[in-house]
Structure 1
Amino acid sequence: MTSASHRLTLALLTVAGVSFAIMQTLVVPSLPFFVKEFDTSAAWVTWLVTSFLVSSSVLTPILGKLGDAHGKKKLLVISLGIFGVASLGATFAPNIGVLIAFRALQGAGAAIFPLSFGIIRDEFPAEKVGLAIGTVSSVFGIGGGVGLVLSGVIVEHLSWHFLFLIGAVPVLISTVLIAKFVPESPIKTPAKPDYKGAAALSVGFASLLLALSEGTEWGWMSPGVLALAAVSATALAGWVAIERRVDDPLVDLESLLKPAMAATNASTVLLGFSMTAFFVLVPGFVQADGFGFGLSPTNAGLLLLPFSLAMIAAGPIAGALGTRKGRVVPLRIGLALGAASLAGLAALHTHEAWFVLWLPIMGVGMAFALAAIGALVIDFCRPEETGVASGMNTIMRASGAAIGAQIAAAIVAAHPQTGDGYTIAFAMAAIGLVVALAPTLVLTRRRASAPALAQLAPA
């Protein structure tokens, strides 16, 4: 590939990633609206976020493994196609149940990231791999921030149907362009998807998250919640047994135990947990009357503009810093800044000026952490494992995100009509990022080996 081809490929992969990330958070500020629109509970509306994350966790490694076996570009086009069609379907959903189902189908789009990382590693020169992966990784947060800003404007001045239509159009356009202009990766590894493992993992996650979402209403020791917890534990235990027995597991448990990869994934779980809690908490707080600011959906989105702009500016800086100084440097900076911002939101959020002050700090922190995570995963795996390793990391982030969303919502629901729930939930998210710093000590000891591993990428 020529330099021009590299730039075009990176641009198309970035557009696809931004489109997916926007769709992940575009509905979040509008969750209170959907409660009224469909006359349903806040717990069920939260499944518009959670179903997306659960399906992402399960479908990403399957599509990643199929990409390793049959061609990363081919599966990327399929993944984007499913995502685009599901977005169109969500546009015309007649009720909350159908909308949740289409949101779950949209989760196939999460494979954009591991498949894109694989294409970059297979096609780009070694010296450009880190910066390119950092760029694509950072758009996860950039798109998420843009989605938070646009959501209120769309709902208040257009219609909720446009939330999904706006997500579908760029995805379908980028699908056609990627099919035409992005070359197929030359590295392929025969593999058979682990559908039994995927089914067990789906049941385990869904049961756990349903228990978390309904615990406040049903009672945490109610028969329903206890039954769901038992189903979840049984299914997840069965999943582990399946993964140890099958030839091509959904998740390579041995790889997860390797120090560098285990540390990276541990930080990723907590990053997803805290970041998604932030995404769920902020719109609800700023739109709340009394203890919040009582903002309209449009003004709530505009309030988040500093966060989005900070992410856009910081993403490329984080990728360049990681290439020069080692990936762990931007990761630790990002986690520390994120923790400081969330702690600030927990302690000082009574005035809009104080609240807004913390948002660009959070934006820079998330851009740095996300850019570093994507590159670290690639550094610590062989080229033929790129799809599976990146898929596993996406599972970790989506799992943490799903749990973070549900726990944050449950804490707020347990403290109605007061801001105490938000204070507790922001503090919880801050603690999550502080704890996420601990695994980076392992990465510090192995930092010197990362550049060498990155050279495994073929020119």
Structure 2
Amino acid sequence: MQVVEKGETYDLAYAKKAMMVVVILPLLVMYTEAMLTPALPTIQKEFAINPNNVSWVLTIYLLVGTVSVALFGKLGDIYGKKKMFLVALGFYTLGVILNGFAPSFQWLLITRAIQGFGMAIFPLAFALVREEFPPSMVPQVQGMISAMFAVGMVIALPLGAWVTENYGWRWTYHSAAPFAVLMFFFAWKILRESRYINPGKVDWIGAFLLTLGVVPLLVGVTRGPNVGWTARETLTLFGVGILGLILLVLWERRVENPILPLGIISSRNPAIANLGIMLAAFGLSMMSQANTYILQMPKPYGFGKTILQSGLLMTPMAAVMLFVAPLAGKLMPKVGAKPIAMTGALIASASLAYLSKYATSLSLPAFVAMITIVGTGITLMNISLINVLVFSVPPRVMGVATGANSLFRNFGSTWGPAIAGTVMSTYYILFHPPGAPPFFKIKLPTEKAYEVLFGTAAGIYLFLALLILAIVEVMKGGKIREVEEGREKEVVVE
């Protein structure tokens, strides 16, 4: 069945098949990544390394991925988004396969870095959705993609703990590898090449400067809580990173085909969407760390649950998000992205403000209900912002726009745990576990720590609600407005 919208013809049967690929994709990735978290202590023991070193299993993936999302997004605009999507997915699949066979910790870091190149699948998938799907379908598909992120994490955390406990950490990858291979095969067979190509030279100097700016900053953030935020190492990393970003901005202003076109990503709607998603990721990751401690710390400092039980307690949030996200996408063309984004930000802010005062005194069902409400608000806001972005940039630069957006999201996700760790290390009490040696004590966050974390997150989402007021609406009353070659077009959604 052919559908004509804004003068373009779309194959609805193809769109529905392609939708299955891009919707299942985040389920696979979150399954793979979240399963790793419960396995970190086991990896540490097998390779006889300290906790700071084992954290590099997560960090190296993030470092490589943050640079690759921008680079592959640009390459997708130049050479075709399906081509680069398959390349990125190939890296991800290869990394997943090799991780489970790593003979040493050093090899594991190398294979995790290979896997990190695959992080670019998400901005490329968002770009393909925008280009190859009828505009009327895009908000709902984006909603389903967002829902799958939450579902994948909720499935993976308890399953990862169970697999690691019964079969060893390597099977967290062995169990994911066949699904990664299948995803590559289906993507190759089903997806079509994007209809928009923007030929040009690759800005390799810009890519180098982006790496020089991003990598030291992210390493500094992850190392800061351990070595100290004012330590020489941390300050040096921040200094190099800031210098790299300054040089990047100066270079991108003069180069003909920049890796990060500043004029596009700094225009009103993309700038608000990028800043909003970065701050939302920061608030979410900070809140998630606080949730983990409250659920798993021993009573009376928490609910004393295992990793498996904690994962299962996240199920209500995933179930609600699975329902809310597609529904919001379906309603968005009628009521507008802006009202839904603001509603989500205000719901998240109010719920987090409540948690900042009462988190440690709530019953377990009440706490689960509150974090479910928070997750619902964040989902509404994130879905709206990604739709604001993809309908606010020309299709020929969609890859680089979504790549830059993923870069900002990664920055927020990296800062969140680092700041949360610092806050919980500032406000703590020493706890002596029953049966442990007299000298052995562990640090447990106090009520003040949770008050600061949830309160800060509440303030961030309140600020985002105000920021959303400045968005130029891209859809409302059944009409979607989109930018193409600097002009505004409308499509009526039936």
- Label 1:444 to 1:254 Cα distance change in 2 as closer, same or farther (>3 A): closer
1:386 corresponds to which letter in structure 2?
M
**Structure with the largest fraction of helix:** 1
Equivalents in 2 of 1:263, 1:245: separation in Å? 24
Q: 2:481 aligns with which of 437, 452, 459?
A: 452
**Which letter does structure 2 place at the counterpart of 1:419?**
P
1:97-246 aligned at under 5 Å gives the runs: 97-246=106-255
Aligned to 2:365: 353
Of 445, 470, 479, 1:419 maps to 445
Aligned to 2:345: 335
- Structure 1 pair 36–362 and aligned structure 2 pair: CA distance change class (3 A): farther
In the alignment, what sits opposite 1:301?
311
**Is residue 272 of structure 2 the alignment partner of residue 263 of structure 1?**
yes
Can you list the C-alpha shifts for 1:332-356, whole angstroms capped at 9, x where unaligned?
A: 2222233334334433333423321
Greater CA drift, 386-395 or 222-231: 222-231
State the secondary structure of the residue aligned to 1:126.
coil
**Code of the aligned partner of 2:445:** G
Q: Is structure 2 residue 457 aligned with structure 1 residue 429?
A: yes
Supply the distance in 1 between the matched residues of 2:186 and 2:102 (Cα, whole angstroms): 28
Deviation for aligned residue 1:176: 0.4
User: Could you tell me which residue of structure 2 aligns to residue 364 of structure 1?
Assistant: 376
Q: How many residues are treated as equivalent by the alignment? A: 459
Kindly report the root-mean-square deviation, in angstroms, between the aligned alpha carbons of the 2 structures.
Answer: 2.8
Cα distance in 1 between the residues matched to 2:177 and 2:388: 30
Partner letter of residue 353 of structure 1?
A: P
Structure 2 contact 296–306 (Cα < 8 Å) conserved: yes
Identify the structure with the greater strand proportion.
2
CA distance in 1, matches of 2:407, 2:417: 15
- Calculate the TM-score normalised by the size of structure 2: 0.84
The separation in 2 between residues aligned to 1:418 and 1:264, in whole angstroms, is: 36
Q: Deviations over 1:366-399 (max 9, x none)?
A: 3222322221111101111211111111111111
Q: Percent identity?
A: 27
Q: Is the 8 A contact 2:222 2:414 kept in 1?
A: no
Query: Does 2:418 match 1:406?
Result: yes
- Following the alignment from structure 2 to structure 1, what is the Cα–Cα distance between the partners of residues 236 and 136? 52
Instruction: Give the distance between the partners of 2:457 and 2:174, measured in 1 at CA.
Output: 32
User: What is the CA distance between 1:304 and its match in structure 2?
Assistant: 1.5
Deviations 1:147-201 (A, max 9, x none): 3343333333432223333333322211101111222222211133333333333
The whole-number CA distance in structure 1 between the counterparts of 2:156 and 2:290 is: 15
Aligned-partner SS, 1:127: coil
The amino acid of 1:390's aligned partner reads T
Q: What's 2:408 paired with? A: 396
- Post-superposition offset of 1:41: 4.5
**Which residue of structure 2 lines up, in the alignment, with residue 59 of structure 1?**
68
State the distance in 2 between where 1:327 and 1:23 align. 31
1:441 aligned partner, one-letter code: L
Q: In the alignment, is the contact (CA less than 8 A) between 2:388 and 2:474 conserved in 1?
A: no
Partners of 1:413 and 1:39 in 2: CA distance: 25
Structure number, greater radius of gyration: 2
Q: Which whole-Å CA distance do the structure 2 matches of 1:164 and 1:192 have between them?
A: 37
- Change in 2 beyond 3 A, CA 1:453/1:213: closer
Tell me which of 466, 474, 486 is aligned to 1:438: 466
Alpha carbons 1:148, 1:304 under 8 Å: kept: no
- Provide structure 1 residue ranges, at least 5 long, that are not aligned to the other structure: none
- In the alignment, the residues of structure 2 paired with residue 309 and residue 118 of structure 1 have an alpha-carbon distance, to the nearest angstrom, of 27
Question: CA shift at 1:35, angstroms?
Answer: 5.0
Q: In structure 2, what is the Cα distance between the partners aligned to 1:428 and 1:101?
A: 36
For 1:433, the aligned partner's letter is Y
Secondary structure of 1:443 counterpart: coil
Greater relative contact order (Cα 8 A, min sep 6): structure 1 or 2? 1
Task: Output the CA distance in 1 between the equivalents of 2:87 and 2:367.
Answer: 41
SS for the counterpart of 1:425 is helix
Look up the equivalent residue of 1:439 and give its one-letter code: L
- Choose from 85, 91, 94 the match for 1:85: 94
**Equivalents in 1 of 2:253, 2:154: separation in Å?**
39
In structure 2, distance between residues paired with 1:334 and 1:46: 32
SS in 2 for 1:442: coil
Q: Which amino acid aligns with 2:12?
A: S
Q: Identify if the C-alpha distance between structure 1 residues 305 and 97 changes in structure 2 by more than 3 Å, giving closer, same or farther.
A: farther
1:79, distance to aligned residue in structure 2 (A): 1.1
Structure 2: give runs of 5+ residues left out of the alignment: 1-9, 429-442, 484-488
Residue 415 of structure 1: how far off its partner (Å)? 4.1
Give the counterpart letter for 1:272 in structure 2.
Answer: A
Q: Which moved more, 1:217-226 or 1:390-399?
A: 217-226
* Partner-residue secondary structure (3-state), 1:418: strand
Match among 241, 262, 268 for residue 253 of structure 1? 262
